[in-house]
Amino acid sequence: MTDSSIEAISPKAVAAALSRVRAQRPLVQCITNDVVQEITANVLLAAGMSPAMVPAPEEAAAFAQFAADALLCNVGTPSEENSRGMKLAAATMSEAGKPWTLDPVGAGGTAWRDDLISDLIDLRPTVIRGNGSEILACAGFAHQYKGVDSLDSSRSALDAAKALAQRSGGIVCVSGETDYATDGTRVLAAVGGNVMATLVVGTGCSLSALTAGFAAKAEDPLVATIACCQFVKRAAEIAGNASRGPGSFHDAYLDALYTLQPENFLEEAV
């Protein structure tokens, strides 16, 4: 794939997507991993959304049907119980025509996890967001891990992302030094960020939650997905410049998500 076939997201598109999210304040139901519950909720609140941690299979589908505007399914610490909750909620969202995002953490790691991810992909997520290795694994391509950390660049996973988008019928987003989103044909990119984000647990997982919220009531989920990525990369840049290390980055990142306004991106378009 040539660079000329990759489109950069426009500042105006980012501003429009952020304006819509701030006006709608979508309620994002999160069935996520045990390690990242707090940062996920805090990131959603800081960005102007409402989090709801509702994983129990006894209520996950009902909440998805009657309350949630969007859903995140993150398989970082899967169990029989939360995997049932994910499947029930995801099926409900798909049937209701509401958006949901799958974060296939550790795809390719074990057969049980891969079976769960495959079952969730069959439920037609609106967005699949992962790192390079996860997207390669989901698409059946060769991949490399160190634990759950990707050893494959986002750029190297673009062909896999397009193939996975065509299989799933949704958007596939690959995060890395540059973030890419594709519907199987078009490819949009978001640039920027700060390496400090890789030293704070949950920044990637919480990006998936934000992606779910940005997709809520979006006319174009592809644009909404990459606009979310650009918003987060801009926040990470601001936080990185203001921080001395991972601890101060965590706090500065939440502050940046809160203080960034649509007009900050419109200024770039002038």
Q: Cite the annotated binding site for substrate by residue number.
A: 53, 202
3-class DSSP state of 160: helix
Q: Cite the annotated binding site for ATP by residue number.
A: 129, 175
Angle CA 200–202–208, to nearest 5: 135
For 56-90, b where at least 16 C-beta lie within 10 A, e where not — what string?
ebeebbebbeeebbbbbbbbbebeeebbbbbbbbb
Distance CA 234, CA 261 (A): 11
Cα-Cα end-to-end distance for the chain: 30
Q: Cite the annotated binding site by residue number.
A: 53, 129, 175, 202
Check: CB of residue 199 under 8 Å from CB of residue 249.
yes
DSSP 8-state assignment for residue 159: H
